[in-house]
């Protein structure tokens, strides 16, 4: 049974309308599909939905549910950033310290329209220009800030990154943890660290324990693989440890166009099986439940 709850459309940085995503999902044989555009953030960036489009997004995706009933189950979600602002930073139009997946961010009117959230960390503190430091974009910019601000100390950055993830999960857990170790992608531009180093294994271990405590799903995200030929997020050894800790998984492509909806899924299913998983958690009939892999 194929499902994907992490997807983007033209409401944020994806290509094609939500309906085109639905048609792609049906063509690729999905039983259920979730929309998860990047939730607006209270500062400028290149890829989040603009705040003024949120209401339309909610209404349009809702309407598609009804239109395609009987063909595919559709769910309205958001990929929400967790950005714990430092005390010295306040954006022009927002002075709340934290952007996270809850009613405060979305407003009491919009929140009940959401079926779920994917919680992701795309920012680690501020960069050398005093702006939120995006760790999910170009490696050139990432490395510039790493060298300028941290003297190349990747360990300090990774400890901050995983610390922010833990803070998100402890403070306000989303239903799905998004691309847990995506920051490792910069290793492809310059070898920065080895995942077997004990301090890194410790960070992962601590972080997984917060997931266990919160009872959330950790997705296996295939985007790095089909976009850049990289490993899955998270790495296979992390998936094995997740299985030992009985953390539920779902398999998502983080698609940004209709044809990517099941991209690299075979690899993710293989990795899940190799780790010992026999079930995935899916949202069906409005309930999160485990079904056979
Ligand atoms: Zn993301
Ligand atoms: Zn995404």
**Digit-coded pLDDT (tens) for 198-256:** 999 999 999 999 999 999 999 999 999 999 999 999 999 999 999 999 999 999 999 99
Q: How far is the CA of 254 from the centre of ligand 1 (A)?
A: 7
Cβ atoms of 215 and 255 within 8 Å: the answer is: no
**Cα–Cα distance, 72 to 262 (Å, whole number):** 15
Q: How far is the CA of 152 from the centre of ligand 1 (A)?
A: 24
pLDDT at 112: 67
Closest ligand to 122 CA? 1
CA torsion angle for 171, 177, 182, 184 (degrees, to 10)? Answer: 70
pLDDT at 83: 84
CATH class of 2-292: alpha beta
pLDDT at 98: 53
- Domain segments of the chain as ranges: 2-292
pLDDT at 91: 46
pLDDT at 108: 55
Q: Which two tokens stand for residue 150?
A: 């941290």
pLDDT at 40: 87
Task: For the chain, give the percent of residues with pLDDT over 90.
Answer: 79
Closest ligand to 8 CA? 2
Q: How far is the CA of 138 from the centre of ligand 1 (A)?
A: 14
Average pLDDT, the chain: 91
Q: Which two tokens stand for residue 58?
A: 């909610």
Summarize pLDDT for 73-113 with one digit per residue, the tens. 999 999 998 887 654 455 433 433 455 555 555 555 566 67
Summarize pLDDT for 127-160 with one digit per residue, the tens. 998 888 999 999 999 999 999 999 999 999 999 9
pLDDT at 173: 87
Q: How far is the CA of 209 from the centre of ligand 2 (A)?
A: 23
Q: How far is the CA of 13 from the centre of ligand 2 (A)?
A: 9
Q: How far is the CA of 230 from the centre of ligand 2 (A)?
A: 16
């Amino acid at each position: 049974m194929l499902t994907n709850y992490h997807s983007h459309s033209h409401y944020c940085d994806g290509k094609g309308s939500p309906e085109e995503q639905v048609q792609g999902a049906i063509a690729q044989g999905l039983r259920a599909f979730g929309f998860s555009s990047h939730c607006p953030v209270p500062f400028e960036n290149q890829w989040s939905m603009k705040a003024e489009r949120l209401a339309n997004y909610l209404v349009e995706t809702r309407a598609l549910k009804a239109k395609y009933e009987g063909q595919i189950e559709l769910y309205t979600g958001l990929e929400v950033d967790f950005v714990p602002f430092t005390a010295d930073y306040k954006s022009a139009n927002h002075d709340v310290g934290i952007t996270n997946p809850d009613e405060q961010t979305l407003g009491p009117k919009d929140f009940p329209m959401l079926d779920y959230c994917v919680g992701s960390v795309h920012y680690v503190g501020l960069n050398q220009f005093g702006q939120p430091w995006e760790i999910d974009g170009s490696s050139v910019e990432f490395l510039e800030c790493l060298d300028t601000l941290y003297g190349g100390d990747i360990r300090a950055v990774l400890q901050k990154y995983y610390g922010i993830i833990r803070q998100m999960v402890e403070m306000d857990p989303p239903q799905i943890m998004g691309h847990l170790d995506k920051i490792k992608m910069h290793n492809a531009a310059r070898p920065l660290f080895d995942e077997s180093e004990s301090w890194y294994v410790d960070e992962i271990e601590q972080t997984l324990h917060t997931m266990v405590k919160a009872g959330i799903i950790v997705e296996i995200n295939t985007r790095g693989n089909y976009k850049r030929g990289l490993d899955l997020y998270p790495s296979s050894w992390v998936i094995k440890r997740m299985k030992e800790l009985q953390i539920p998984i779902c398999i998502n492509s983080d698609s940004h166009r209709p044809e990517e909806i099941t991209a690299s899924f075979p690899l993710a299913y293989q990795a899940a099986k190799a780790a010992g998983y026999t079930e995935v958690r899916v949202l069906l009939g409005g309930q999160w439940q485990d079904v056979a892999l």
